[in-house]
Every structure is written in structure tokens, then in C-alpha cells.
Amino acid sequence: MTSRRKLADLREEYAKASLNVHDVAADPIEQFKSWFEDAREAELGEPNAMVVATVDGEGRPSARVLLLKGVDERGFTFFTNYESRKGGDLDDNPHVAMVFHWMGLERQVRIEGSAARLEHDESAAYFAQRPRGSQLGAWASPQSRMIGSRDVLEERLSEIEQRFGDRTIPCPGHWGGYLVRPDRVEFWQGRPNRLHDRIVYERTADDSWTTSRLAP
């Protein structure tokens, strides 16, 4: 019987691709879109899953996995309950960090920037596209707050279902999107011997971008 490998012995050798500063797009959003399409074409599970880290007013960090729901020339968009822990953190401190990890391609993307709430009309337009069950859940869940049991959620959901019946469910005022405007974006490609390729974009004062190579 094969013994279990020790945690310290768990490792993979990365050798699928390389990354050169002369080969990346001039704009990190365009480079991200290219890598994201690679992840989709590779049929990786939930390629839009990302870790989002926030910091509260006392400097304590918090991180969780969310789903990216939009990317355009402005930046990156996700949606949540504004009264959740992350929402409270962002009220205190708009700075945010995000990480995409596409292990199947041996790639990571790290994003740092500032988050701001989307206009309500933009959030409402996305909310209208969500499955009805997700719409009801946004109304029913007091996200990040203590509850006594699962029954509390089920009861709240039942109340919300009865309130709206067959009518259109509006976007709650406590729910909506954030746009993260990046000022630093790093693309990481795994390489042999842990000598990984790291290319970082940094926003300049005139809103252009510089690119540099980082040591692994």
C-alpha cells in the first residue's frame, strides 16, 4: 500500500508555456481577455471564479471566492449584497485585490485596484438576467449576518416568494455591482524549477500602462 505523501512533498513541475514581456498586449484588460478565453477554451471549471480580498477599517484582511460577471475597458465587475462583510469593508476601504488561478493552464492573474459601486440601473439590468431563484435569494439572505438555523433562510425565502408571487422581482436596494478599476495587474505563468514568468502592468499618471518583468 502506497503511503500518503507528506504535505511538504506535494509539488508539480510547470512546463506548459512561457510568457515574454514583448509578447503581451499593451493593455492589461486585453491581455486578461486573451487569457480568459484560453481558460474557457480549455474547459476549465468556472474560469470566472476569483479570490477577492478586502480590508476593513481596522486593517484586517478578508478574502473569499466570487464570480467575475463583467470585464471591459473600465475594469472588472462583480455583484454582491452591499450589507455583507465585503460590502462593509469596501465602504471603509475601497482598495481590493483579486486573484484568478487557472491551474489547468499553470497560470495566475493578480489584480489590484479600487472598487466603486455601479450605478443602480446597471446593477438592475444584470439582476433582471439572473435566474428567478437567485433573485429571490438576494432578497431572502441577510448575507454575512448570524442566523439561528437553515430554517430561518427557508422561512424568509417562503415569505419573499409569497410577497412577489408571479410578479417581476425588482433589484433590492441593498444589492448590486462593484467595478474594480485596476492600477496593477500581474500575469503569472508557471515554469520549470520554480523560475516562473511574471509580467506586471502598472498604471501611470496619464492612465497609460508600463510593463515589467518580476523575479519569481
- Give yes or no for a contact between 28 and 201, defined as CB atoms under 8 angstroms apart: yes
Q: Closest Cα partner for 140 from 120, 128, 155, 150?
A: 155
pLDDT of res. 215: 97
Other C-beta atoms lying within 10 Å of the C-beta of residue 34: 12
Which residue in the list 167, 194, 203, 213 is annotated as catalytic? 194
Residue 148 β-bridge partners: none
Q: Are 123 and 175 in contact, with CB atoms under 8 Å apart?
A: yes
- pLDDT value for 30: 98
- Which pLDDT score is estimated for 145? 86
- Mean pLDDT rounded to a whole number for the chain: 95
Q: Over 80: is that where the pLDDT of 180 sits?
A: yes
**Catalytic annotation on 194?**
yes
pLDDT of 33-49, one tens digit each? Answer: 999 999 999 999 999 99
Distance CA 179, CA 99 (A): 15
What would the CATH number be for the domain defined by 12-129+175-214?
Answer: 2.30.110.10
pLDDT tens digits along 113-150: 999 999 999 999 999 999 999 999 999 998 888 888 99
> 14-30, pLDDT tens digit by residue?
888 999 999 999 999 99
pLDDT at position 1 is 42
Per the CB < 8 A criterion, the answer to whether 111 and 97 are in contact is yes
Can you say how many angstroms the Cα of residue 184 is from the centroid of all Cα atoms in its chain?
15
Return the C-alpha torsion angle 3, 9, 15, 17, nearest 10.
Answer: 120
**Grid-cell match 495587474, residue found:** 185
